[in-house]
Structure 1
Amino acid sequence: MDYNETYPLVSILIPTYNRPEYFRLALNSALAQTYPNIEIIIGDDSTDNKTQKLIEETYLPLYENLTYIRNQPALGQFENSLMLFDQAKGEYINFLMDDDLFYPEKIQKMMNFFIADKNEELTLVTSFRKFIDKEGIDLAGGPLNMKIYETDKIVSGIDLGNHILTSCHNYIGEPTTALFRKKTLTIPFGTLDGRIYNCSVDLATWIYLLSKGNAAYIAEPLSCFRLHAGQQYHTKLVEGVEDLTHLVTTSKKYGFLQYKQDRQQSLQKVFNWIINALMHQYHQAGEKGKVERLEQCLQVVQKELDLISF
């Protein structure tokens, strides 16, 4: 049997920006994968040459499967991710954010599901992941990091998507967490229904992929999501609410929330998110523009809820 049939090529894509120390740890975790057929592509948006120097002096001379791209000028996180996706030669894609980590057997254990999937019914494989702090120390589990299932399981993409949408919780995880089949993603990563997401780029893509087939869940942790002060989501509350509003109000056309009760539950969750965000803005004397954007989301969701009640 052909080597590439036995071990299809997996592309690990690492967008990075001014985090050479975290990036080095992330890259090392990609290079430590036990799966034998991997390419690693790095898109560097940094404003200095620290990451470039690290790559060119320490890694490029040693690893033939490593491609380094210095973006000049910088592309921005969204365009950088799209560029990496376009550069990927692998049949399968796994993003690795430059402050996260892979466990050594992550790709192998996930690819085992795809290799066994002869009818190509799977669109993505995800797993439980651990949260770590800025020093790499494990953080206690909590409501943001719960197991979906206690054992490995293959589930309907529609069922899992409905579970995500009715709870407004990303049970699949961040871009680092999931491995997916490249050809299934026929729209740009981080978009849904023609809209570019500004915060929940992962959820936009997961919902699209879940609409196309099944998902596999691995109950053991296979990656680490690092929480630290430098992450953008700390300052993207309004963008996150706008993304969530669009996600829930758009998802029906992708086969989700077909039952009135599910749709109502999902919309009510978003409604509560918006109210909490507005209260936060009022308390912080937030910018008028942000308050208006949240009020627009509230109007959209309220209109949907009113339609359901008739």
Structure 2
Amino acid sequence: MKDPLVSVVIPAYNRPYFLEVALSSVLRQTYSNIEIVICDDSTDDQVQSMLIPYLERFSCIRYYKNEKNLFVQNFHKCFQLAKGELINYLMDDDLFHPEKVQKMVDVLQRFEDVSLVTSYRQPFDQHGNLLPPIKATVKLFEQTAVLNGKTFGNYVLSHCINVIGEPTTVMFRKADLTENFGMYRGKQYSTLNDVASWLLLLSKGKAVYLPEAYSYFRMHPEQNRSFDVLYAPLTEWLDLMVDSRKDGFLETDHLFKAALYTHRQYVEELQKVQDPRVREKVDTVEKRIDSILRTLK
């Protein structure tokens, strides 16, 4: 069987040192049929300067400097420029295990009805030190697991936790992602863009979870912690719950109500925050949840 081309797509932004480490982790892959697509949304030329020797040495790297900041649309540009049958995003501050691509390609070649492959991911800090798991990164299974897509999606939605992983974690077939990355049923998500795309993929087939740490998720002070990033999920989780039912997720009122109550508990915890912007968002989401619950049996 011919080895499919894998596109590792990297939306870059103002982090040349982290990007160089991330890029090196791709160049060390045991799988060889890889192209690397870097779309640079940086506000300066530091990333471009860092990449010059790599572009001269490695023909598998394609680099594009955006004329203006594309923000979330930079993810779209990466995807559109990718030529591979299989896609794996790589955030410019994360890392791949050397065998990540090979292991995930093997799964997708073995199972035609699998639309998403993920794995345990290991958190680490800005200095490269491994960190203990956080709530979202706890290992789900000790052995490789083949999961029903709807069931896996229901688990994510009912717990309001992205246990599938960040964009770095997942490999999928390009043909299966029928909307731009981060879009679900025509709506563009900002902070839950990965969850939105995972639900789209899970609506089409099964998932495979690998228990080994094939991705490394960097946690550091430079990550975006703006108001929108921290509190947009209040609305976005609710939107995903509602819209995903059209694809067969949370198919019973019982499952839907359980997910809504879980989300409401999280929203209620934020009532103590004094910021009026938070209070306004909390009040809006609470009213919307209560309105939906009144329509259910």
Q: Tell me whether the two structures share a fold, i.e. TM-score over 0.5.
A: yes
Distance in structure 1 (CA, Å) of the matches to 2:75 and 2:201: 17
Moved more, 254-263 or 81-90: 254-263
Partner-residue secondary structure (3-state), 1:171: coil
Residue 67 of structure 2: aligned partner: 72
**Matched-pair identity in %:** 38
Amino acid at match of 2:166: E
Partner-residue secondary structure (3-state), 1:72: coil
Are positions 1:106 and 2:103 aligned together?
A: no
Unaligned runs of 5+ in 2: none
2:50 aligned to which of 25, 49, 54: 54
Distance in structure 1 (CA, Å) of the matches to 2:95 and 2:288: 38
Partner-residue secondary structure (3-state), 1:48: coil
Q: Return the TM-score normalized by structure 1.
A: 0.92
Amino acid at match of 2:246: K
Residue 209 of structure 2: aligned partner: 217
Distance in structure 1 (CA, Å) of the matches to 2:151 and 2:19: 35
Are positions 1:204 and 2:200 aligned together?
A: no
Distance in structure 1 (CA, Å) of the matches to 2:134 and 2:43: 36
Asked if 1 retains the 8 angstrom alpha-carbon contact of 2:157 and 2:237, the reply is: no
How far is 1:234 from its partner? Answer: 5.8
| CA displacement, residues 203-235 of structure 1 (integer Å, 9 cap, x when unaligned) | 000011101100111011001101111112464
Distance in structure 2 (CA, Å) of the matches to 1:64 and 1:260: 53
| CA displacement, residues 165-206 of structure 1 (integer Å, 9 cap, x when unaligned) | 111111110000000111011111101122111111100000
Distance in structure 2 (CA, Å) of the matches to 1:160 and 1:240: 19
Quickly say closer, same or farther: Cα 1:132–1:112, change in 2 above 3 A.
Answer: same
Q: Return the TM-score normalized by structure 2.
A: 0.96
Partner-residue secondary structure (3-state), 2:169: coil
- Matched positions, count: 296
Asked if 2 retains the 8 angstrom alpha-carbon contact of 1:238 and 1:277, the reply is: no
Quickly say closer, same or farther: Cα 1:179–1:134, change in 2 above 3 A.
Answer: same
Runs of 4+ with deviation above 3 angstroms:
none
- Give the RMSD, CA atoms, in angstroms: 1.3
Residue 243 of structure 1: aligned partner: 236
Partner-residue secondary structure (3-state), 1:6: coil
Residue 300 of structure 1: aligned partner: 288
| CA displacement, residues 137-174 of structure 1 (integer Å, 9 cap, x when unaligned) | 00012423211211001111011111111111111100
Asked if 2 retains the 8 angstrom alpha-carbon contact of 1:168 and 1:269, the reply is: yes
Distance in structure 2 (CA, Å) of the matches to 1:224 and 1:279: 34
How far is 1:18 from its partner? Answer: 0.6
